Structure 1
Amino acid sequence: MRYIKLGTTGLEVSAITLGCMSFGEPDRGGEPWSLGADAGRDIIRQALESGVNFLDTANGYSAGSSEEIVGRAVKD
């Protein structure tokens, strides 16, 4: 994995970002197509094992359940 500096922060992030809008509980928020915790966890695990350390999420994705899924997966 190639890493780049994030602006002038000195932080190194992966050149590839995992967008997390697809993760969330389908019955929360307005995205019935979103992937629940189990499917999301598998994708997040694969990304982390590949060296991705830049995950893009927002509290608006599936009424915050995207952040909950991402947070638990990263913690574990």
Structure 2
Amino acid sequence: MPINFSQQSELALQTGAILAKKYDTKLHVLHMLELSDSLISQSTSENRKEMLFLSALAKKKFKQFLEKGYLEEVTVEPLI
């Protein structure tokens, strides 16, 4: 299930949790980082630092986003 931390993603996550509980399955949750072409195509130290920062920020937001009571009985597999 893709998420972007929006309210619509929250509703989709709730639905995914219901289905995961019903079918006793793992819930795979994906967030795609939006990186500019210049960050990806140019391998500089500054670009690497910025990508690492954006990745760490997304991980933090992801962790907070997944701290929901309705996910307590669900195995969640987060992926960035």
Which TM-score applies when normalising by structure 1?
0.36
Pick 1 or 2: higher relative contact order, CA cutoff 8 A, min separation 6.
2
- Larger proportion of helix: 2
Higher-Rg member (1/2): 2
TM-score (norm 2): 0.34
